[in-house]
Every structure is written in C-alpha cells, then in structure tokens.
Structure 1
Amino acid sequence: MTAGLSTDAYAELRESVVTTIWNELDPLGEHIENTERIPYDLVLPVLRSCGAFGLLVPRAYGGSGLSVSQYLPILSEFAKIQGGIRAIVHVHNSFAHALSEIGSEEQKAEILPGAATGDKSLAFALTEPENGTGADLSTTARRDGDDYVVSGRKWLITNSDIASHFLVFAKTSPQEVSALLVPRDTPGFSIKPLPETMGCKGAEHGELTFAEVRVPTSALVGAEGEGQAHLERALEISRVFIAASSLGTATQALDLSLTYAQERVTFGKPIAERQAVQRYLAEMAIDVYALRGMLADAAAKWDAGRRIPAESSMVKQFGLEAVGRVTDRALLVHGGIGYTRRHPVERLYRDARLNWLEEGTPTIQYLVAARELLGGYTFDDVFDALTV
C-alpha cells in the first residue's frame, strides 16, 4: 500500500508544481513548437526546483513518495501544456516508480536518489524496429562469466537523450525475457535520434544499438526469466498514467472550447447559444467526467495494494478514445481558426495522438482486457462496496 504525503504537505507541493507549470514552463511552449527542441538548460532546472522529478520516488530515497491518487492530478496538469515537457515528466516518474518496486536494494540505492533530483533518469527500452511487442524480442543477453553480453536494437525510446540508465528487456534464452540495467556510458552502447514526431515536440524517442555490450550480472533486475512479469507490472500502472495525461489534455481542450464558444459571435450572438455547439461541449464534458471516474477507481485500487491488469488497459483505451473525441470537437468548436497555431487546440490535437501509442496500441489494450476477463478476473468489488 502507498500512503503518500499528508494532506497539507501534498497541497503545498501540488500548488508549487502547478504554479511552476503555468508561470515558468508554459511560456516556453511556443519556442519549443517553433524549434522542435526542448531547451534543457531552462527546462530541467525548473523541473528540479519544483520537485517534478521526485514525485513518485520513495521518501527513503529523497523523493516525495506520492501515492498514485496524488500523482495523477499533477501529471494531468503537465498534460495541459506543451506535450514534450509532459513526456519527460511521465517517463522519468513512471520508471523511477517501476524501479522502486522491482529493483534490488543496490540498484535502487544507485539510481533513485539521483532520480529524485533529476541528476539520474531511467528510460524504458522495450520496443524494437523489427519486432512486435512484449516477448517478441530479438535483443539478447548472453551470460559470459560474471557478465551479460547484450546485443540488439531498440527504438522509439523516450528520454533517450537525457536518461542515465536504460531498463533493457532482452532474451536470456529462447523462452525467457529478462530485464537489465544498462548505464548510458557503457562501451558498445550507442544512441541516435529518430525523426521529429507529430506532437509532443522536443521529446526525444531515440534508437539504441547494443554491440556486444557487457554489463555485470548485478545489472539483472530480479532473476532470469522475470522480465515479462516486470514488463507487465511496469506497464500496468504506466497505462494509468497515460490515461491521466489524456485527462489533462481533454480537460484543457474543453476549458478552451467553453471560453471560445462564449466569446465567438456569429449572426449577432455567441456560438455557445447554438444547440449544435452545446452538444459538442456536453459530449466533451461527458468524456472528461467518465475518464475522471475511471482514473479514481484504478488509482484507489493500486494504492490499496491491488493489481489492476484489466482496469489499466481499459482506462488507457478509454482515455485515448476520449481525448481523441474531445480534441476533435474542440477543433469543430473553434472552426477554421482552430486549425492554425493561433489557438492552443491545434497543439493539443497533435499532442493527444501520442497517447494512442504509448504503453501499447489499442489492439494490445483490448487483448489484455479480454484475456483477463476471460480468465475470470473481476473488477466490480469497489463499486459494490460503494453501493452497500
């Protein structure tokens, strides 16, 4: 179970981070969109100063140790501004959190104190250019004495330009997937950028090459063959974080549309008085409200120490569909001018589309949810408790 911060300490931290988001980070958005680069010399010190890197790092290692329920509103707030900044915060916190749950005491002591301050960061190295998802891997880690020798390629690895360590998933036998920690400066390990993305500009999603990279056996996370279990646990909660990002983007799109609809006048009256526009706004609000409820349920279960394999995939899938619908309608409310960069809905529309791909595509979410349900998994006990 995760208790998180006390009410007063959390309120103080959240206010500090939110103020920093809007006063110091949001003004950098236009520059990032224009240059397609994040000015790390400006952004990273700001994220460090407000504690954004240590949100999910346990307090024993210098972080804030937030519960998931406490973290989601802060991540959602980041998703309202330029998407590249949100991607940095999301990936850093997601996999610092994962390491705190699956890493050895030595591994946690090596990485987490630096992760709390942003001096170190862990990236998630799973996706490969010639393979599918999960256990469909070509990267191998061969045992050689006191070392593992890692060979293969990964790509679309977010934060590859700032990560100090990479959680690499590789085959240690034809049937087994294992996870290893590979430091950035390991000989034989190279990183190169991929072309810029549609949205979330500035966040790097690089290509990694492992040419007979040697790491000590102490780099193994858990035991050989536990990589699939580590993968599933890390993605399970990270999918909830993606849904929270969808909520933030959708909420911002709704708020901007409500304001615009009341300000935009045609034929002598605000378009907010037109039934067609009112329906768009109501549909947007329904999606936002439903997603908030699903997130609260998933977070409460995780914080209570429960696994949520079906819920995480369902809320991730609903979130990406909801933010897609909401940003579609936001564009319709704004009309032609919303298709230009004069209004933020153009950026929100592009940023939201990354949510379709992070932590698994829709087909994966449907597969996981259906597999769990057909296996007898139930998820209605919290609702039943509320209605007693």
Structure 2
Amino acid sequence: MNEDYEKLRSRIAERMWEVFPPMEEEIEHTDVIPKDVMVPALQEVGALGLLVPKEYGGAGLTVTQYLPILADLSRIHGGLRGFVHAHNSSTHVFSMLASEEQKARLLPLAARGEVSFGMGITEPDHGTGADIGTTATRDGEHYVLTGQKWLTTNSDWVRYFIVFCKTDPAAGAAGVSAILMERDAEGLRIDPLPPTLGTRGLQHGHVQMERVRVPIGNRLGREGEGLGLIEEGMELSRVFVAASSLGTAEEALQMSLARARSRETFGQPIGTRQAVQRYLAEMATDVLALRSMLENTAARIDAGHRVPAEASACKLFGLEAVCRVTDRALLVFGGIGFTRKFPIERMLRDARANVVEEGPPAIQHLVIARTMLMGYYFEGSIFDTPYTRAVTATV
C-alpha cells in the first residue's frame, strides 16, 4: 500500500458515496441502474481499469490492493459492487487469455470503460465445465457458435462476450475453448432474465446463439485450454466475491453498532442488553475471521501461487458470514429493519447473491475436499509446521 493507492481508494469511495445513495430508491423500484450517471462517475475516478496493467492504461493493482476497494463498494450497494466486479473480473480473465495483439487492441479501451466483457459460462440446460453444451464448429476461417448462456452479468452493457464452448465435443474436458464474440454478431440474441432478489439494477442476460459466425482470430488462447482457464479464473473471482461479502458484513456491523448505541428502551440503549451484545460479538467475529482469510489468500495470489482450496474456503465462509451478519443486523434493528426505512433490508437481500455467485456451497465443499485429498496443503501461515503426526490409512 502507498500514498497513490490510498488516494485512489479514497477517491473511488467518496465519489460513489456521493453518486449512488441518491439513486438507491429509484434503482430498488425500477431494477435499473442509471448508467448515464454511474458509468461516467466510475470512469472519472478510474474504477474500471483497476486490474488492468499500467502499460495498457490501467491502475495495475495487486489483488491485495483491489479487495479493499471491492469491499468499499459492497458497503454502498450490491448492484454497484456487482457492476464493477463483473467488469474488472471479466477484463482480468480476458487479459489472462488474450494474445499480445488482442490485449493491445482492447485492454486500453476496457481500462477507460469504453469496452467491457461478459462471461459466457453458465448454461440453463448444462453444468459448468466439461458439461458445457454450447458448441463452436470450425468452418474455414470461422467458428460457428450454437447454444445458450445465462446469468451473464452486465449483459445490457458489455461489448464482447467471452464464450466458453466445445470446439471438440468428443474430447470431453479437453475440448473446451474460449472465444470472443461481439454483441452485434448476426444470430445472437440477448434477452433479460426476471428481476433478482437482491443486487437490484444489475442485469443478468440470457445469451442465445444460433449459428453465430466468429473469426478464428477471436479465439482466446489455444483450443482445449478452456476448462483449466475457467478453474483458474474462478479461483480469483471467488476471492473477489468473498471480499464483497466482507464489505457488506462490515457495513451491517457498523450500522448495528450505531443502532445499538442510539436506540433506547426502558431508558437505556439496547446495546446494554446481553442479547444484543451477543449479536454484535458474533457479527464482529465473522468479520474479523473473513478479513484474515482474505488477507492471507490475497498475499498468496500476489506471490504467484494458485489457491484452489483457499479461494473456495474464502467464498464458502464469506457467504455464510455475510448471511449471518445481515441476519443479526435485522435482529438488532428489530421490526423497523424489515422495512425500507434503513438499508438493512436491502443489504440482507444483496448478501444472498454471494451464496450463488461463482458456485453454490456444495461446489465449494467439493473443491476444498477434493483438492486436499489430492495432497494440497495450506501454506503461508505462521502456524505452518513440519512437525505433525503421520497418519496413514490402509484399504
């Protein structure tokens, strides 16, 4: 962390606190974020190129630096956090996959918010990964894409979709590739999905492809690399979602502390009640634990390590923590917290998006357990020790 970074973080947070809260009521009722207001404000403070390397016009932040900014935005509104998260994460995935020519052409535009990418992974009729149903058939100098994706965030705004598809259906997991598809391609249709429980204003589209022709040069990486790239990209995105959980939980805790001091019954603040103190203590414990997990995992990512189990553990604990904390906040506020007089009701709904983003709990359980059974070891802690009892199992 340095002075320039602190100025950037402060500039983003201060501007978004100015711009977003006045629009919150409108967004919650219309389910539309006024992008003519939000996007210029984000461009003004450089919030759309946070993970883009400096040589392409971005801020070039490390993961350790990016997570607090994402948490700051999560304190304000789930729709704002989701918009910025989706843009920066998909741009980072593009940077991971793209050739030097592709990066030189598009990353500067993405850093300025003039171009954005949408992730085409989740499908309505198939699972993620080797079960993907979308196909890309080679036809001369083009791929012909057929299939559908949904829950594609920012689908009303993105210029390009990073579509993960089967270029060799017979090869199973080894046949998945990534292809860049423009939103105005012939044969592409984008339909809106029904309104969501939380993160109101954030659009998640249903992308349908009927023999969409895409130049071979739009492939990202080599054929067959797609599944491994999905897994690596998911690691980082799961950590980002956990940071979003942290921001919402921290704000809910701070609001609950203020309420516990100011709300009086029987002539005393409710914070003097043992039951309320227990809620606050449980909330603080979740916040501190999640913060420590994220700091450790971000440090490992910035050191160049893969973090398959840590990322899923952060995502899993983060979703559980933010749901517990917002539930406790509702208890501290009481019946009035169930109304829209305070943001607690909205934050409780926004928190539920973190449950399903980048895989539900069952997926995180699978990744953590499978990774450890394959011999993965959690490193980088002061508690690491070579001295442990050797336990062997015989069949």
Q: Scaled by the length of structure 2, what TM-score is found?
A: 0.95
The aligned amino acid for 2:42 is: L
Check the 8 A contact 2:56/2:108 in 1, yes or no. yes
**Whole-Å Cα distance in 2 between the matches of residues 76 and 121 of structure 1?**
21
Q: Deviations over 1:281-329 (max 9, x none)?
A: 0000000000000000110000001110000000000000000100010
Residues 90 and 118 in structure 2, CA contact (< 8 A), matched pair in contact too: yes
Match of residue 392 from structure 2: none
Against the structure 1 CA distance between its residues 377 and 47, is the aligned structure 2 distance closer, same or farther, given a 3 Å change threshold? same
- Give yes or no for the alignment of 1:107 onto 2:102: yes
Q: Does 1:93 align with 2:88?
A: yes
2:313 is equivalent to residue 318 of structure 1: no
Letter in 2 for 1:271: I
Out of 21-30 and 11-20, give the one that drifted further: 21-30
Q: Deviations over 1:23-68 (max 9, x none)?
A: 2223222221122110111111111101110111111110001000
Measured in 1, the distance between the counterparts of 2:48 and 2:380 equals: 34
* Paired positions, count: 383
Q: Is the 8 A contact 1:111 1:121 kept in 2?
A: no
Distance in 2 (CA, whole Å) between partners of 1:31 and 1:126 is 31
Aligned to 1:124: 119
Structure 1, unaligned runs of 5 or more: 1-5
User: CA–CA distance in 2 between the matches of 1:360 and 1:106?
Assistant: 32
| Residue type at the aligned position of 1:222 | G
Aligned to 1:382, the other structure's residue is in SS state coil
Distance in 2 of aligned mates of 1:86 and 1:172: 34
Q: Bigger CA drift: 16-25 or 234-243?
A: 16-25
Instruction: Name the counterpart of 1:197.
Output: 196
Give the 3-state SS of the residue equivalent to 1:154 in structure 2.
Answer: strand
Q: Could you tell me which amino acid in structure 1 is paired with residue 90 of structure 2?
A: F
- 2:15·2:45 contact (CA, 8 Å) conserved in 1? yes
User: In the TM superposition, what is the alpha-carbon distance from 1:386 to its structure 2 partner?
Assistant: 11
Residue 355 of structure 1 aligns to which amino acid in structure 2? Answer: N
Q: Secondary structure at the match of 2:220?
A: coil
State the SS of the aligned residue for 1:347.
helix
Alignment RMSD (CA, Å) = 1.5
8 Å CA contact 2:134, 2:166 repeated in 1: yes
What residue in structure 1 maps to residue 57 of structure 2?
62
Would you say the 8 A contact 1:58–1:100 is kept in 2? no
Tell me what 1:3 maps to. none
Measure the CA separation in 1 of the matches of 2:61 and 2:379. 26
Give the 3-state SS of the residue equivalent to 1:259 in structure 2: helix
1:79–1:86 contact (8 Å) kept in structure 2: yes
CA shift for structure 1 position 132? 2.0
Moved more, 217-226 or 378-387: 378-387
| Counterpart position of 1:335 | 334
Deviation at 1:219, TM superposition (A): 1.2
Identity of aligned residues (%): 55
Secondary structure (helix, strand or coil) at the match of 1:54 reads coil
Is 1:187 the counterpart of 2:186? The answer is yes
Structure 1 stretch displaced more, 216-225 or 314-323: 216-225
* Residue 50 (structure 1) aligns with: 45
Alignment-derived partner of residue 252 in structure 1: 251
Does the residue aligned with 1:79 lie in a helix, a strand or coil? helix
Report deviation, 1:380: 2.9
Distance in 1 separating the partners of 2:131 and 2:337: 41
Q: Give, in whole Å, the separation in 1 of the partners of 2:37 and 2:68.
A: 24
Amino acid at match of 1:234: G
Cα shift readout 1:169-196 (whole Å, capped 9, x = no counterpart): 1111122111111111111111111111
For residues 222 and 32 of structure 1, what CA distance do their matches in structure 2 show? 38
Q: Deviations over 1:243-270 (max 9, x none)?
A: 0000000000000000001111111111
The superposition leaves residues 338-368 of structure 1 with CA deviations (integer Å, 9 ceiling, x where unpaired) of 0000011000000000001111111111111
Give, in angstroms, the shift of residue 220 of structure 1: 1.1
C-alpha distance in 1 between matches for 2:37 and 2:359: 31
Paired position in structure 1 for 2:220 = 221
Q: Give the whole-Å Cα distance in 1 for the aligned partners of 2:163 and 2:143.
A: 12
Q: Distance in 2 between matches of 1:19 and 1:386?
A: 43
* Matches for 1:1-388 after TM superposition, within 5 Å: 7-174=2-169, 175=172, 176-384=175-383
Distance 1:381 1:42, change over 3 A: closer
Task: Quote the Cα distance in structure 2 between the aligned partners of 1:150 and 1:12.
Answer: 45
- Report if aligned partners of 1:189, 1:208 keep a CA contact under 8 Å in 2: yes
Cα distance in 2 for partners of 1:58, 1:381 equals 26
| d(CA) in 2 for partners of 1:62, 1:180 | 24
Distance 1:386 1:102 in 2: 37
Q: Secondary structure in 2 aligned to 1:185?
A: coil
Shift of 1:385: 6.4
* C-alpha distance after superposition, 1:172-227 (max 9, x if no partner): 11221111111111111111111111110010000001110111111111111100
For the Cα contact (< 8 Å) 1:29–1:81, is it kept in 2? no
> Is contact 2:297–2:310 with CA below 8 Å preserved after alignment?
yes
Distance 1:75 1:381, change over 3 A: closer
